[in-house]
Amino acid sequence: MPEAIVVVSAHSADFVWRAAGAIATAVERGAEAHVVALSYGERGESGELWKEPGQTEERVKEIRRGEAQAAAEALGASFRSLDLGDYPLVMDAAAVDRLTDLLRELAPRLVLTHAALDPFNPDHGVAHDATVQARQLASGAGVASAFVTIPPPELLTFEPHQPELCGFVPTTFLDITPVWEKKVAAMDAMGAQAYLKQYYSERAEHRANHARRISGRGGIRYAEAFQRQLPVVVDAL
């Protein structure tokens, strides 16, 4: 069985801006990549669509679904949404159970999601907390349990829009230069938030600068930043 990664996204476009390079890189290396959007972001993340006269939530969700599926296909990933609504996103026990069941089903090696704190977005921290809980429930305590468990996945958070205000301190830079065109294609699919493409293109160049200085690898032109949430277990340093 190929290894898998799961990206838990509060809204249907979050995975594109923050982790599209990681997704495309994993797929190119033979992994399966699965995007789980907790909502479509139809209420608070679809500003361009709400400029159209007579717009409705159902129509916005339909458009956002199509955009997200096209973006995921550009990266080689699957996409599904739990369609839980946004602004506010509410993760009750039933919603956490659904996410937990998905993690058990997909048994990923790695889970990526939002940072715990975002003072400008009411849904991102909710998505983080629910993902942490679902991961814990899916993997148990690392011992035999009364329910089905999976090996504990690694857990990383992807970079928020304003990292310095979200307690985000990068611990990992990923060189996404080889898959940059795939990330561009995914960003191009997100017409409802097209204004974010320039920002995240520039951010990828900024993080590449940091990665070059840390590693001495002069060929890095684009990079994504992640913060590891748990220690890594290794056999040697």
Q: How much is the pLDDT for 1?
A: 63
| Residue (of 76, 77, 60) closest to 8 by Cα position | 77
Q: How much is the pLDDT for 228?
A: 98
| Residue (of 70, 99, 80, 67) closest to 34 by Cα position | 80
Q: Is domain 4-228 in CATH 3.20.20.70, yes or no?
A: no
pLDDT reading at 133 higher than 70:
yes
pLDDT tens, residue by residue, 147-202: 889 999 999 999 999 999 999 999 999 999 999 999 999 999 999 999 999 999 99
Q: How much is the pLDDT for 145?
A: 78
pLDDT tens, residue by residue, 81-122: 999 999 999 999 999 999 999 999 999 999 999 999 999 999
pLDDT tens, residue by residue, 39-96: 999 999 998 999 999 999 999 999 999 999 999 999 999 999 999 999 999 999 999 9
Residue 52, φ and ψ in degrees, nearest 5: -80, 130
Q: How much is the pLDDT for 147?
A: 83
For the four alpha carbons of 26, 30, 31 and 35, in that order, the dihedral sign comes to positive
Q: Domain segments of the chain: what residues?
A: 4-228
Cross-strand pairs, 6: 34, 111
CB 224 within 8 A of CB 18: yes
Confidence of residue 216 (pLDDT cuts 50, 70, 90): very high
Q: Could you tell me the two tokens for 108?
A: 């990923």
Q: How far is the C-alpha of 206 from the C-alpha of 187, rounded, in Å? A: 18
Mean pLDDT for 205-231 is: 98
